[in-house]
Amino acid sequence: MHIPDGYLSPSTCAVMAAGATPFWLIALRRLRALLNARLVPMLSLFSAFSFVIMMFNLPLPGGTTGHAVGMGIGAIVLGPWASILAISVALLIQALFFGDGGITCYGANCFNMAIVGSLGAYWIYRMLAARSDLTAPRRIAAAALAGYLAINISALCAAIEFGIQPALFHDETGAPLYAPYPLSIAVPAMLIGHLAFAGLAEAVISGGVVAYLQRANPALLRTSAPNAAIGTFAETEPRSGSVWAALRPLWIGLALMMILTPLGLLAAGSAWGEWGVEDFKNPDVREQMTVASHGIAPPAEPPRGLEKLASLWTAPFPDYAPTFLKSAQLGYILSAMMGVGLIIVLCLLIGWIFRLFARGENDPLGSPS
């Protein structure tokens, strides 16, 4: 679902970035108002979780791959606005350092996964869970369905963005300049795989983590259920100084996931709509593209606009494969560790900036007269 550079026209990228900006601004304003010592560790954890879970590629029909995003559980635990920021941070690190998603398409990728995914998952979960106890089994089912529906809505958004490109942007001969397949191919190609596989993975993750938190720390489910009863469990809110320690079991689980990330290499092929320029010239890959696109062959040559924009940014560790390591498995683990470390640093920086602004506003002597 990560749209690479060159698949969307510059004007489409500008529109998507403009559409995402108000949501980022609202999220930053909401988080600034809610800033406390608990927020930064939570933001770091779920942003890192989203980053790592997206490295686990799943085989999809037609020889392509897909992945869960973590938008469901992020929205449930953090709330929609913090989830928007957490997933946006993960997508930024992926695009800048690992070439997963384009720089020009960053706004579109955030709109689809971070914004639509988080808001969709949150409101679906709130509607389905209603006022049930935090520890009620109903909340597990609500979380699973919210994650499943949210990722498919996100996939539909990406498919529409892909599919409108040939109609709106083509040369004088009618050849597409960017994404080559129309809506009639893009929508089913994206949705079939997500409805059948990636959506189920998102459902299992969302429902599974909620079930775990109901037993381990139901207080973490309070954000998306402010009026729910706790049930038979005692609700404990960690002190501000012990938040990192309170989240230790979840960080340990994340560390284990990082070690297991090479399992994501077992799924062969690329995600639909994420083929590189060289793939259009490779007979074997072209055959895979044809099969994945319901028998419709791609253009004989890479679309001109795609070819031009694809080289706009070269990530230092493309495809999560550091060039100084010969082992793909070790490179994948190291990339996961680097990504998580960068996310923690960025989230700490965001928290420090928020605190700096808050200190300046609260201290009348903090600014010159």
Q: Kindly report, residue by residue over 216-238, the tens digit of the pLDDT.
A: 999 899 989 887 776 654 444 44
- Rounded CA separation 260/97 (Å): 21
Does 125 reside within a domain?
A: yes
pLDDT of amino acid 369? 37
pLDDT-flagged residues of the chain (< 50): 233-238, 240-241, 365-369
Could you give the maximum distance between any two Cα atoms of the chain, in Å? Answer: 70
Whether 369 is in a domain gets the answer no
State the Cα–Cα distance between residues 252 and 324, nearest whole angstrom: 28
Q: What is the CA radius of gyration of the chain?
A: 21
User: Model's pTM, two decimal places?
Assistant: 0.93
Supply the DSSP string of 51-67, one letter for each residue. Answer: HHHTTS-EEETTTEEE-
Helix (H) or strand (E) holding 32: helix 10-34
What sign does the dihedral 360-361-362-365 (CA atoms) show?
positive
* Residue 256: CATH number of its domain: 1.10.1760.20
Sign of CA pseudo-dihedral 268, 206, 100, 308:
positive
| List of E strands, the chain | 58-60, 64-66
pLDDT of residue 137: 96
Cα 257 to its chain centre, rounded Å, is 16
Q: What is residue 362's predicted lDDT score, i.e. its pLDDT?
A: 59
Residue 361: what pLDDT?
A: 64
As a whole number, the mean pLDDT across the chain is: 91
- The first and second tokens of residue 317, run together, are 């560790």
CB atoms within 10 A of CB 58: 19
pLDDT at site 368: 45
Residue 367 lies in a domain: no
Tell how strand 58-60 and strand 64-66 pair up.
Answer: antiparallel
Is 4 within a domain? no
Four-residue CA torsion sign, 336, 337, 342, 345: positive
Tally of domains within the chain: 1
Domain span including residue 193: 10-362
